[in-house]
Amino acid sequence: MRAAEICSHRITIVTGHYGTGKTEFAVNLAMALAEEKPNLMLADLDIVNPYFRSRERKGLLADSGVRLISSSQACSNADVPALPAELQAIFENREITGVLDIGGDPVGARVLARFFFFLLKEDYQLIYVLNANRPEVRTAEGAAEYLRGIEATTGLTCTGIVNNTHLCQETTAEEIQKGAVLAKELSDATGIPILCHVAEEKFVTELTNLPEPVFPISIRMKKPWE
């Protein structure tokens, strides 16, 4: 599927519980969007996860036509983290298509609260990334609780669910299918539509039975020790 089918809005906010793989999704999404749209910016605003940061792939992103901006790592534990001045360009310049990768829980999501009034004036979508293998969100009830917590913190409404169920190197098509079942339960419980299912290229042919489209990715993010 084309990335623009997932991101039909000018600004896409990617969130989800810690460990869902939302940064992997955000990086792949930004790189795919850059092939279809000019002036693509990826904002790394994750102040929660110290390991998987899109800034570690700045060179790769630049080669793909993605301009990366990121928050200050030095203030990652602060209630009000330092944010780069160029972030404002995403809200002020409507020639820019923006992907925002924010923290994986309501605490991390509060970084967006200060931009509430800007976002209300813009064409945005808030995507909730789901991994059925994360203990805290492996049930529709738990996943909905986290989703609503992020909405309450940001003041924004979630508009789409992305199933990104995986087990790192041990991921199988069956695991992704399991995540699709949970995503459907969450969608039914909240009324929020499923946008897509995320899968490495090698699994795509095994997922043709899913009613929603599959967004193929390549693994870009590596653990620091890899």
Percent pLDDT > 90 in the chain is 57
- State the chain's mean pLDDT as an integer: 86
- How far is 99 from 41, CA to CA, in rounded Å? 6
Closest CA to 174 of 130, 218, 210, 144: 210
- How far is 39 from 46, CA to CA, in rounded Å? 22
Closest CA to 178 of 130, 215, 142: 130
Of 79-88, 108-117, 164-173, 181-190, the least confident: 79-88
Report the pLDDT averaged over residues 78-107: 77
Cα–Cα distances (Å) from 130 to 36, 73, 93, 213, in that order, read 25, 25, 30, 15
Q: Residue 12 — pLDDT band, cuts 50, 70, 90?
A: very high
Q: What is the largest CA-CA distance in the chain?
A: 46
Closest CA to 48 of 100, 104, 87, 99: 104
Q: Where are the domains of the chain?
A: 3-217
Which pLDDT belongs to residue 19?
Answer: 83
- How far is 73 from 130, CA to CA, in rounded Å? 25
- Count of helix runs (H) and strand runs (E) in the chain: 8, 8
Cα–Cα distances (Å) from 135 to 93, 112, 131, 143, in that order, read 40, 25, 9, 10
pLDDT digits (tens, 9 = 90+) for 26-72: 999 999 999 998 899 999 887 665 555 666 678 889 999 999 988 65
Of 44-53, 105-114, 155-164, 165-174, the least confident: 44-53
Q: Residue 105 — pLDDT band, cuts 50, 70, 90?
A: low
Domain over 3-217 is classified CATH 3.90.550.10 = no
Which pLDDT belongs to residue 110?
Answer: 76
